[in-house]
Structure 1
């Protein structure tokens, strides 16, 4: 059965400034131009899943500013259901992103309405969690709201995927509420306490997270690939596709949304990792966040050709 996906998370307007190199503290440099893209980790992951032809609903908040309506309509255009998006007083979330010639980015996040999306706001929404739903969470809304969503999902028998980004040290006693924890190296370091500089370190971090109560874990290692482990399948490594990056914005979000979609449609873990890696590889060859996320057909063609 194909699982529905409910994303509880953030929506941001990404203001992207391209530079030759990132400035040093106190230094002023000239930019190469500014672009505006709809983004936010929650919204990006929702679009990535919807592009893979699964039913996706977005839950969160936008502000009553010029960006709010644009953020909502951009999701609708990508076939993400927007009935559970709350319009709140104040500004929408804004991400100020600087991208250098090596495609490395630096991000400053102004949370806006995302930070005001409280547990009370979630409780008042007619959000439906059930046994055929995957609930996808990140760290750009209040932690208390995420925790409520986890508990509501657990009570309903939903599958919970949590991406603790931006990095936040979470209490290990909530790990049993999470069916799949997806982290990059920095996020894994923050939660496990293990410094990660190679694949062996990542394996140590995964083992520590499973020992602490985690059900299954994926650590993404950028252009080196990804590491998966659980108590049934064991641990295995999935390589990344080699591409020339243009902009790494939304690569991690695309991997997560694509993996959630693939694993909810009957693909094996190995197939889902390959599918997600292909989606992320395509994204880094394009500029922007949601605008760069590929369709299912594009991902499958990429896999066939590579």
Structure 2
């Protein structure tokens, strides 16, 4: 099978991860258990996930000329990601995400920093990376106008565009119309459509999002798995996998990388969703967004064990 070529255009952040037994109440001070400084950002997470899953991976993004920026670049290079498209911006701090982990889940506050300096010129300057990519993977932690411009150029070159519309924010319908695949989680789906996403309402909300741009819609549902709209218009659900949860940070990013790689290798949407479900399940079994990204060997072993034992899904 030909090695897929994936281009990620997105954010790089230093994650400052604080572990606590519980979340503090408003106005309350509690004592945390641990603090870690971990390379992150949705774009960088997806790039490292893709590289570990066997894709030839490049990234376009921006960091500051500071220690955090150097650390992030080193982290990507160590995993074999092409960082030639990442610029270092003078006088601007590298993006930071403050992540609080408690009770098996997380909450996140992001300060974009240099991510907000990714501009049209940066996309143009790295046109060669766009031309060689099979798939372009985008998120929304960089300026939305830059995301729109990147998607437009990708389509000019005939590339498949996967849009992970996170974090949810007001964006023009044109961006949805440029995407070939859109991957909101349940909360993001509700915000973009203004509809309920529980129970039978999920399918109606997914159909509403499809009407905006006619893209393939895949919705992640956390531990419940994921859902997608099949070619016949039906809503199909893939259950999640039962695994010991250590850290959910980055699971969605891993899912998107797995989905994009599967699509690039010519798998059907059903096969791609199943593969993405496997890789994201493994991601939550380790601490740290990037550290938790599984290798393709780990995924194959996990899949083989599931098939051998007939392990239940969630």
TM-score (norm 2): 0.93
Partner of 2:207 in structure 1? 207
Question: Matches of residues 43-122 of structure 1 in structure 2 within 5 Å?
Answer: 43-89=44-90, 90-100=92-102, 102-122=103-123
Equivalent-residue separation in structure 2 for 1:122 and 1:285 (angstroms): 35
Question: Matches of residues 267-282 of structure 1 in structure 2 within 5 Å?
Answer: 267-282=267-282
Instruction: Give the secondary structure class of the aligned counterpart of 1:291.
Output: coil
Question: Conserved in 2, the CA contact under 8 Å of 1:17 and 1:35?
Answer: yes
Equivalent-residue separation in structure 2 for 1:175 and 1:281 (angstroms): 27
1:294 aligned onto 2:294 = yes
Partner of 2:236 in structure 1? 236
Q: CA deviation at 1:5?
A: 0.8
Question: Conserved in 2, the CA contact under 8 Å of 1:10 and 1:42?
Answer: yes
Question: Matches of residues 120-135 of structure 1 in structure 2 within 5 Å?
Answer: 120-130=121-131, 133-135=134-136
Equivalent-residue separation in structure 2 for 1:2 and 1:265 (angstroms): 8
Q: 1:59 to 1:132 in 2, by over 3 A?
A: closer
Equivalent-residue separation in structure 2 for 1:262 and 1:174 (angstroms): 22
Count of residue pairs brought into register by the alignment: 304
Question: Matches of residues 165-244 of structure 1 in structure 2 within 5 Å?
Answer: 165-198=166-199, 200-229=200-229, 231=231, 234-244=234-244
Question: Conserved in 2, the CA contact under 8 Å of 1:210 and 1:230?
Answer: no
* Ranges in structure 1 where 5+ consecutive residues have no aligned partner: none
Q: CA deviation at 1:211?
A: 1.7
Equivalent-residue separation in structure 2 for 1:45 and 1:6 (angstroms): 10
Q: CA deviation at 1:175?
A: 2.2
Question: Conserved in 2, the CA contact under 8 Å of 1:84 and 1:126?
Answer: no
Equivalent-residue separation in structure 2 for 1:4 and 1:95 (angstroms): 28
Question: Conserved in 1, the CA contact under 8 Å of 2:5 and 2:133?
Answer: yes
Equivalent-residue separation in structure 1 for 2:230 and 2:272 (angstroms): 15
Question: Conserved in 2, the CA contact under 8 Å of 1:131 and 1:157?
Answer: no
Query: Where does structure 1 differ by over 4 angstroms across 4 or more consecutive aligned residues?
Result: 230-234
Partner of 2:251 in structure 1? 251
TM-score (norm 1): 0.95
Instruction: Give the secondary structure class of the aligned counterpart of 2:6.
Output: strand
Over the aligned positions, Cα root-mean-square deviation in angstroms equals: 1.5
Question: Conserved in 2, the CA contact under 8 Å of 1:2 and 1:266?
Answer: no
Q: CA deviation at 1:118?
A: 1.9
Question: Matches of residues 147-166 of structure 1 in structure 2 within 5 Å?
Answer: 147-166=148-167
Question: Conserved in 2, the CA contact under 8 Å of 1:181 and 1:214?
Answer: no
Equivalent-residue separation in structure 2 for 1:131 and 1:295 (angstroms): 23
Equivalent-residue separation in structure 1 for 2:300 and 2:131 (angstroms): 29
Q: CA deviation at 1:270?
A: 1.9
Equivalent-residue separation in structure 1 for 2:256 and 2:22 (angstroms): 28
* Ranges in structure 2 where 5+ consecutive residues have no aligned partner: 307-314
Question: Conserved in 1, the CA contact under 8 Å of 2:183 and 2:217?
Answer: yes
1:96-140 CA-to-partner distances (Å, cap 9, x unmatched) read 10100x211111101111011122332333443238521100010
Equivalent-residue separation in structure 2 for 1:127 and 1:13 (angstroms): 28
Q: CA deviation at 1:263?
A: 1.9
Equivalent-residue separation in structure 2 for 1:172 and 1:180 (angstroms): 14
Partner of 1:26 in structure 2? 27
